[in-house]
Structure 1
């Protein structure tokens, strides 16, 4: 009989780190909500604790699952299933993105007045080390998975008669989930831009490290946003050719919002950091007091940073505009399925409002749009009225938080119900054994009974598990 522990470990999938993404970005938004409230800060602590708990649990489960899977099969089989299989491998991108949300909140904790200066500096060092780890993981995922996908065709189920590899890829694999392998780079670049020019980072590290971090951040952001643009173009082509995803996968449309909101948030911070760095280390005499600029060098020191600011604003508004457009498309796509009904693998009818793990695909992207819109308000409202962006940010942020809470509650219920069914099946099996009049061997039992005793409720669990993968792919 398969033990409960083995069955639990076998349920792990990379997409589970999307739970960390949703809860993590919700904690960040609660902490810096466009309209400040002390109670929101308290709620952010609770959400952050939940994100950390989920992350640590999944991290341990991931390692144990790797050991368990390679022990039962082989390491090459693990690579085939979780690296070469694009339907699963792209979800490794949720791991570094979830970690970044925790990194950002840890920096928020360094700004709390009750923390001593020494503890703040040590926490800043920890944040910086985690960021480098996240960068390394993000690069391995983005570059490594891209090479694997470009190297050879790999279809776990094989090709059908007369089916061609490129046709199957175009029809089934060119989806918005491909963005999950690249978005971690955009998110990581935005993370460092939050704290690299903070006073704490400047006191903890020297100027050279600040400049190095800023340059690497810019390189990563530019590389990632161009990579994302290519994938978005391909996905738009796929939408024109194969239309919007089926009802169970319609929430994957929201993944396009992720790089738009996070990219806008990142470039606004990057351009602002260029200005702050120039003002801090290359001050222009008389510029602050409105004096006359004496040399061409003074003019450049004042003009160049503001050129970055203007370009950053233009790029950010362009990305946000695409994000707003696709938000409406996503909502209309969902409404188009309001009367649609599908029969799942268990033979039960499902509607668009029936919860499944694909609902989580909406949380993080909505949160990034909130961050990007709010940053426009924070940086430019002092020059021109930008309060509309604050309102839009609050709408996106509220949607993200409430949707995350909804997903958390339903996910707990979903896994709790699955666990209850498994335990009940195991108990029924024990009762059946205890009531047996004589010790039968498995060979004397009907094949169907042997199957049910060997893995009670395994079929329903695997069915639900497979549905989770399909809803996100």
Structure 2
């Protein structure tokens, strides 16, 4: 997600240059390699040790990160539209649309199932809650935003209409739920104060649904303005204009709400000394999608203020990505960065079963010992 948003920001930077474009392409290719590699590793891992997947799903914290899979795929889909479609034409459009439907299915599964696991399986305590609860929910908002980008290049207006309507439904499944979680999270902060320093970076995660939710409404409204009239959607001549106007009004309000959480996040991390861990990647994507919303506002208003602010946000995210990626690579080489909490429980279960099996074997061989 962090690598993908860095490539998108460089590609869409308000003040751009040809070398920035090629840099975005290089990071995009790196993102594809990382995604395929990690996906293949995960498949091998869960195939060889099937019990780890169950342990991961039942873990109250690690299971939430399943939502990052469709969000990471969405960044690749977006860059396929930005980079590959102009060069490869219709084949790239079909690829992007096909991948988007896969992304939709996985995002819906994440948004529906994982929050239910929190309700049904986990014994949650308000004091231990973090903004990571947003991760499985935000997946559908990200898919909705990607749907708006894909719909813009679909040559068939009817296909574009299906994509737009699906994207609005996806936005409706994710954004209101995200607001509910933000309410609970704000209550948690006021009652139990800041999260532990190990997970303090999670205070930036609320920028994810707000930034992507704002961008999604602008992008979908922009495409609806073009697609609704020829398809006679909703059987009203000006319905596209209504969606466009309401979407931009709502997106501006949501962007303003994001400023509040941005301030909370900056104030929180400024009062904490926290060690480097994989949680630092929580800096990149939330701020990145908020930067995307800012740059999109600059394009549609138009506004030099939002253009300059979007550029500052974008450059900051790319620099953060470069620093965090460098430190992650260094610690990955030494093995210091790898830690899977669910594996500890899995290993304990396996050890307990082996002990029970040995005891059963001893009892069977020596019935009198019982």
Structure 1 and Structure 2 fold alike (TM over 0.5): yes
Deviation of 1:64 (Å): 0.8
Number of the residue aligned with 1:331: 266
Alignment of 1:213-228 (within 5 A): 213-228=163-178
The CA deviation string for residues 246-298 of structure 1, in whole angstroms up to 9 with x for no partner, is 2221110000000111000000111122211245556xxxxxxxxxxxxxx9x
Distance 2:138 2:260 in 1: 19
Distance 2:139 2:14 in 1: 24
Q: Which blocks of at least 5 consecutive residues in structure 1 are unaligned? A: 1-20, 154-164, 283-296, 338-350, 419-460
1:356 touches 1:468 (CA, 8 Å); kept in 2?
no
The CA deviation string for residues 390-435 of structure 1, in whole angstroms up to 9 with x for no partner, is 11111111111110111110001001122xxxxxxxxxxxxxxxxx
Deviation of 1:42 (Å): 1.1
Deviation of 1:229 (Å): 0.9
Deviation of 1:464 (Å): 5.9
Distance 1:105 1:37 in 2: 17
Alignment of 1:123-142 (within 5 A): 123-142=92-111
Q: What TM-score do the two structures reach when normalised by structure 2?
A: 0.87
Number of the residue aligned with 1:379: 300
Number of the residue aligned with 2:237: 301
Deviation of 1:126 (Å): 0.8
Distance 2:306 2:139 in 1: 25
Distance 1:63 1:111 in 2: 29
Larger-Rg structure: 1
Q: What TM-score do the two structures reach when normalised by structure 1?
A: 0.69
Kindly report structure 1 stretches of 4+ aligned residues shifted beyond 3 Å.
278-282, 466-469
Name the structure with the higher helix share. Answer: 2
Report SS of the residue matched to 2:221. helix
Q: How many residues align?
A: 342
Distance 2:256 2:157 in 1: 36
Q: Which blocks of at least 5 consecutive residues in structure 2 are unaligned? A: 344-370
Q: 2:84 aligned with 1:98, yes or no? A: no
Number of the residue aligned with 2:53: 78
Distance 2:312 2:96 in 1: 30
Number of the residue aligned with 1:269: 219
Number of the residue aligned with 1:69: 49
Aligned-residue CA RMSD in angstroms? 2.2
Q: 2:310 aligned with 1:389, yes or no? A: no
Report SS of the residue matched to 1:336. coil
Number of the residue aligned with 1:291: none
Distance 2:324 2:83 in 1: 26
2:111 touches 2:174 (CA, 8 Å); kept in 1?
no
Alignment of 1:428-439 (within 5 A): none
Number of the residue aligned with 1:169: 125
Alignment of 1:161-310 (within 5 A): 165=123, 168-172=124-128, 174-198=129-153, 201-202=154-155, 206-281=156-231, 301-302=237-238, 304-310=239-245
